[in-house]
Amino acid sequence: MDWQACRAQRADLALALRAAAHHGLGEGVCNHFSFALGPDAYLINPRGLMWAEVGEDDIVAIDSSGRRIAGRHEVEPTAMFIHAAVHRIAAKACVMHTHMPHATALTLTAARALDTRLSQNAMRFHGRVAVDPDYNGLALDHAEGERIARAMGGADIVFLGNHGVIVCGPRIDHAFDDLYYLERACESQVIAQSTGLKLMPVAEEIARRVSEQAQGERLQSELFFAALRRALPNP
């Protein structure tokens, strides 16, 4: 692994973390974003730093066992129990795990997840979401991470019952865009449900078409990330 050659990916991962913090998607010094550099090398945020303070030089590289192979900070020992499994079993390049508030709120309901037929933001995720309804305690071993990865069934997004969400993508900017709009969609649903009024989902074919439209045009995702780079420069 060439540490200097992956500088752009380190910068993008750090930016995604700062942007998530800026939009209220972080939780203390918990949770991780990771990006695969190869079959056994991953970039990940370090232990003990809030997402808002992470710069490109704070990102750490680890192997699939969680051993640090580059970077100046320590890594939380449990950081890779979920991430390594999702990278390896689900074959995802970028993995973002959060306890962001409105998405997590929906994991506490009987449905366990977002209704992707409600808001326009929700429809972009139609057909892309899996649900793991079986909370099994803290992910403190490889077996639990592997169980979660298999529950994804190839989906980009998994709602973890009583826990949080995982959002994946082939690129950091695309994954972050999905993370942001997933929380916005969940927020709209939580607000709508709080009114007590009957919800009005669209027809299945409309939700499917909107999802296809959103996936067919990702320039907006890239422009959003470029705007975030201007607004939230490397510390």
Question: CA dihedral in degrees (225, 229, 231, 234; nearest 10)?
Answer: 140
User: Is pLDDT of 58 > 90?
Assistant: yes
Asked if pLDDT for residue 14 goes beyond 90, the answer is yes
Is it the case that residue 1 has pLDDT exceeding 80?
Answer: no
What 3 state SS string does the chain have?
CCCCCCHHHHHHHHHHHHHHHHCCCCCCCCCCEEEEEECCEEEECCCCCCHHHCCHHHCEEECCCCCEEECCCCCCCCHHHHHHHHHHHCCCCEEEEECCHHHHHHHCCCCCCCCCCCCHHHHCCCCCEEEECCCCCCCCCHHHHHHHHHHHCCCCEEEECCCEEEEEECCHHHHHHHHHHHHHHHHHHHHHHHCCCCCCCCCHHHHHHHHHHHHCCCHHHHHHHHHHHHHCCCC
Torsion of CA 170, 174, 175, 181, to 10 degrees: -150
Q: Over the stretch 147-206, which tens digit does the pLDDT of each residue have? A: 999 999 999 999 999 999 999 999 999 999 999 999 999 999 999 999 999 999 999 999
Query: In this structure, are residues 139 and 78 in contact, taking their beta carbons and an 8 Å threshold?
Result: yes
Closest CA to 63 of 90, 84, 94, 86: 84
Distance, CA of 47 to CA of 80 (rounded, Å):
12
Q: Is the pLDDT of residue 104 over 90?
A: yes
**Which of 88-97, 104-113, 131-140, 193-202 is the least confident region?**
131-140
What pLDDT does residue 91 have?
93
Provide the percentage of residues in the chain whose pLDDT is more than 90.
88
Q: Which residue has the higher pLDDT, 119 or 5?
A: 119
From CA 35, how far away is CA 220, in angstroms rounded?
Answer: 21
> Residue 73: is its pLDDT beyond 80?
yes
Q: In this predicted structure, what is the pLDDT of residue 49?
A: 97
In this structure, of 17-21, 29-33, 126-130, 142-146, the range with the lowest mean pLDDT score is: 142-146
The mean per-residue pLDDT over the stretch 86-107 comes to: 96
pTM for the model = 0.96
Mean pLDDT of the chain, nearest integer: 95
State the Cα–Cα distance between residues 117 and 101, nearest whole angstrom: 20
